[in-house]
Amino acid sequence: MAPVQPPAPRLLPACCGLVVAVVLAAVFVPHFHRATGLTSLIRFGEERQQKLAPELTGVPVYLVPHHHGFDGQYYAHMALHPPWKYHDLSDHYDFPAYRLRRIFLPALAWALGLGRPLWIVHVYSFFNVLAWLGLAALLTAWLPLRDWTNFGRWTGCLLAAGVLESLRGSLTDLPALLMMLGAMRLWETRRLRSGTAFWVASVLSRDTVALSLLGLLWPWPPRARGIVRLAVLGGLIVLPTALWTLYVSHYFPTSSVGVEGNFNWPFRAVAGTAADAVEHLRHGVEDNGRYTFRLVTIFSFAVQVWVVLRYWRRGPRWLRIALPFLLLFPFLGLPVWEGPWGFWRAILPVTVAFCFLVPPGRWFVPLLLAGSLPSLHAFFRLVF
């Protein structure tokens, strides 16, 4: 006879609804406009108005005043064209070979928008909002909302700084994370083909997701049968992205790849960004929290690393997809730390694993809060 589950705390459903309502309000209240919809989340820059695609002429989109815009605008430009015409669009990108590798979301928006620019930009602007709602639903498969501990883990994932930053700029990180976790859930339920398809879509959305597959080999050495099976699946998953990358590199030189400076010697960028932040703060330069939250990010990520390394054996096996990003972290360069919002997105799988692995008990809330401090700045940036 199965054990009887204790009833959920009476206020728990209301608190779950409150989290969803607060985030959706933070998205729609400041960002939705009657004429332009949610296109302000794409962050087309007013100072790049001359480089807008001709297809956007007459299409009402929000332009961020006195700003060059952000990365989401490049993927939205991709979405205005079918993938076989991307090689003609180099004038609309900062690093064509880098942007054009991430084909899935733009291609999906083009297909769902039936090739019509007005429909496409609105479809694309909603991708991250729908991905956030999808993540909220998917997490309950592992974190049934029956107690406050699971509620804390669920909320920590949904309010992770990297999640909110992707939501703020219509970026690829959150949808790629959702598809990766969806793939793991499908594999858990023995739906191998569907799970593999989700992995393919995730890697085509954000190529660095492929690193997560290496985490499934841990602990080393795995059984030979496991190595062969993962090698075959990994090859199938990475092959479409590899072929598409070869196609893109045929038209654009490697000098336009866009990762220059993103990697450095181990911990060199961490030390440099900390020293730079201290120097600016010492002279009273804050820049909307940029320098304070560089130091806060270093502290919070140290908490995350400690929790993940100490408790990773206690969580579901799929959480090991975060381990390769622990190895990547020391090599990240200064451009990733500049915000430090780029860093929040780069280590997003680690943040999710951290939320799952924080040990229950009297230290649960302090540790969860200590590892989630950057979310304060991310939420502020989302609203304002």
pLDDT at 81 over 80: yes
**3 state SS of 231:** helix
Amino acid (1-letter code) at residue 82: P
Whole-number pLDDT of residue 232: 87
pLDDT in tens, 207-226: 999 999 888 877 665 677 77
* For range 9-33, the mean pLDDT: 94
Q: Are 102 and 172 in contact (CB under 8 A)?
A: yes
Whole-number pLDDT of residue 374: 97
What's the chain's length in residues? Answer: 384
Q: How far apart are CA 99 and CA 349, in angstroms?
A: 21
pLDDT in tens, 110-140: 999 999 999 999 999 999 999 999 999 999 9
Residue with more model confidence, 163 or 215: 163
Q: How far apart are CA 323 and CA 308, in angstroms?
A: 8
pLDDT in tens, 174-211: 999 999 999 999 999 999 999 999 999 999 999 999 99
Give me the residue spans of the domains in the chain. 26-254+264-383
**pLDDT bracket for residue 260 (50, 70, 90):** low
Q: Are 375 and 161 in contact (CB under 8 A)?
A: yes
Q: Which of 55, 31, 57 is nearest to 43 (CA)?
A: 31
Q: Which of 18, 4, 206, 5 is nearest to 104 (CA)?
A: 206
Q: How far apart are CA 83 and CA 87, in angstroms?
A: 8
Q: 168 burial class (0-12, 13-18, 19+ CB within 10 angstroms)? A: buried
